[in-house]
Amino acid sequence: MTVGLNHFLALSAVLFSLGIYAVLTRKNAIQVLMGIELILNSANINFIAFAHYGNFGLTGQVISLFVIILAAAEAAIALAIVLNIYKQYSTVNVDEIDGLKE
């Protein structure tokens, strides 16, 4: 079977559902972050696949560049928050962090 647009889209769909699974099940906040990175990567595959097969020129590639920029900013902020939580609670398990103030 020759590889076409469908194959890339199916790959990104499976990657997306794996990311959703990581976000839903993992207790460690950092592994939830890894799931979010998987989701962003699958969205990027979609953007670039449609740009390649849909005769849109380079628009999809430019947009996926902005997605990568946002992912970098998000990872920096989220890890700062996680480190701060670890200072307060001595754990990063999301089910044990249940206080709004100390």
Partner 1 sequence: MTTYDLIFYLFALIILVSAFIVVAARNIIYSAFSLLFTFFGVAGIYVLLNADFIAVVQVIIYVGGILVLIIFGVMLTNKITEVEIKTESFQVLPSIIISGIIGGTLVAIFTKTNWKVAEPQILDKTVTEIGRFLVSHYMILFELAGIILLVALIGSVMIARKEKLETEEVEK
Angle, CA of 14, 63 and 6, to the nearest 5°: 35
Name the residue nearer to partner 1 (CB basis): 41 or 99: 41
Segment 22-61, which members bind partner 1 (CB under 8 A)?
Answer: 22, 24-28, 30-31, 33-35, 37-38, 41, 44-45, 48-49, 51-55, 57-59, 61
DSSP 93: B
Interface characters, 60-79, with partner 1 (x: CB under 8 A): -xx-xxx-xxxxxxxxxx-x
CA 54 to mean position of chain CA atoms: 24
Assess contact for 76 and 53: CB atoms under 8 A.
no
Name the residue nearer to partner 1 (CB basis): 77 or 100: 77
